[in-house]
Amino acid sequence: MDSVQLALLALLVGVIVGGSAVAVVMASMRAHDRARAESSQLVPPGTDEVLAGMDDAAAVVDASGTVRASSPSADEFGMRVGSLLPADELRALAREARDTHLPVTGTLRLRRGAAIGGTRLVAVRIVEVSPRLVLAVLRDITERERVEEMRRDFVANTSHELKTPVGAVSLLAEAIESAADDPDQVRIFTARLSAEATRLGQLTSRIMNLSRLQAADDFGDARDVAVDEVVASALEAHAVQAQSAGVDVHRGGERGLYVRGDGQVLGEAVGNLIANAIAYSPQGSTVGIGVRAVDGIVEIAVTDRGIGIAEADQQRVFERFYRADQARSRRTGGSGLGLSIVKHAAQRHGGEVVLWSRPGRGSTFTIRLPRIDAPDAEQPPRKRPNKAKAGGEAAKKPERDASPSAKKSRPTADTTPEGETV
């Protein structure tokens, strides 16, 4: 074999050896890439334990949008292991976090499971945990957003309500100054100024009372409260209003009942119901306050025979600043806070307030509170008069419904031992 053939043979052997080496290197690199991809697809050790201890909905998601691991609360949003992320917006945020290698945040509305229903507002934060995996954490902020919206509405409504008396005070002050030489006009403007100042003071007081009721979960000075004293104080506080309106106010029902809480707050709540009943009752009509105990619950019912409340408004009358009849509320000077205060006062005492009403037949508001035993069971409760009437005249028995069907459909207070129905 000559030298040329030897050279060609050596070259061929070199090509074969070199090609084999290159193939080995390429195969090794591909195997390394596959191993890296497979390892990046695996959930890091300890992830399941961490997710199991999270209150927020959280899930580890791969590049295809498939959930690889999730927290227990993530099931509410459909993020179960093996399923796809439930929303296109959520998958887009996951891709963005994987592409940019930076944390991504956003706010979305997602539908919860069929057992819970409805959509929820969630704050989303997604971070990369490996080349192909991201961690998505969802925090439900629906309630926080609702409270914030209520706060904004409360501030806006309060500002609106305060503008009227404040503006009136300013205008009346200017009018008094311009009428300084006319004593009669000064007296008229001064009386109106005093009325607006009183209205402003009452509105401010009610706003502060409502804020105090919503500020804490319980009362620091809770004590045993006699319902008789609560009702008596509320009646006394509104006797002049009833006399001026020509409305008879009667008290009936059981005596000697007790509840646990703040007597002043409960007195204000019952007083608000009495004030509303008087304000919306025609002259010469009757307002009844009845008390009874039913299955461990004390019910304080205030009944009027006024204009009533339409069914569409009955669910909203307990909202702050809501008025079913805007024109009449302006005439009666209502602030729209009284029934809201009643609702929160009842809730703070572990109870509730319920409403029965029919347009043209009147309304019955009932505060229901948990009953407690009297502090001294051996000592009988002090007797109080059966009837309390504002106006100084002899008390009259309230009117009764003429038809049996009316008696069945309308809540009434209990009957006293003497037989008086309120």
Domain boundaries, the chain: 47-140, 149-215, 222-409
Stretch 271-299: mean pLDDT, rounded? 91
C-alpha angle 269/206/234, rounded to 5°? 30
58 vs 414, which has greater pLDDT? 58
326 vs 63, which has greater pLDDT? 63
pLDDT reported for residue 369 = 93
C-alpha angle 11/17/21, rounded to 5°? 140
Whether the per-residue pLDDT at 67 is higher than 70: the answer is yes
47-140 and 149-215 in the same fold: no
pLDDT reported for residue 164 = 66
377 vs 84, which has greater pLDDT? 84
pLDDT reported for residue 158 = 65
Whether the per-residue pLDDT at 384 is higher than 80: the answer is no
**DSSP-assigned beta bridge partners for residue 390:** none
In total, the chain counts a number of residues equal to 422
pTM metric for this prediction: 0.49
CATH topology of domain 149-215: Helix Hairpins (1.10.287)
Pairing of strands 258-261, 362-372: antiparallel
Stretch 314-320: mean pLDDT, rounded? 74
Whether the per-residue pLDDT at 214 is higher than 70: the answer is no
Whether the per-residue pLDDT at 420 is higher than 50: the answer is no
Whether the per-residue pLDDT at 78 is higher than 50: the answer is yes
Stretch 338-346: mean pLDDT, rounded? 83
State in Å, rounded, how far the first CA of the chain is from the last one.
133
Which CATH architecture fits 222-409?
2-Layer Sandwich (3.30)
418 vs 32, which has greater pLDDT? 32
Q: How far apart are CA 172 and CA 177, in angstroms?
A: 9
pLDDT reported for residue 6 = 66
**Number of neighbours of residue 316 by Cβ within 10 angstroms:** 12
Residue recorded with tokens 């008396």: 165
Which CATH architecture fits 47-140?
2-Layer Sandwich (3.30)
Q: What percent of the chain stands above pLDDT 70?
A: 67
pLDDT reported for residue 299 = 94
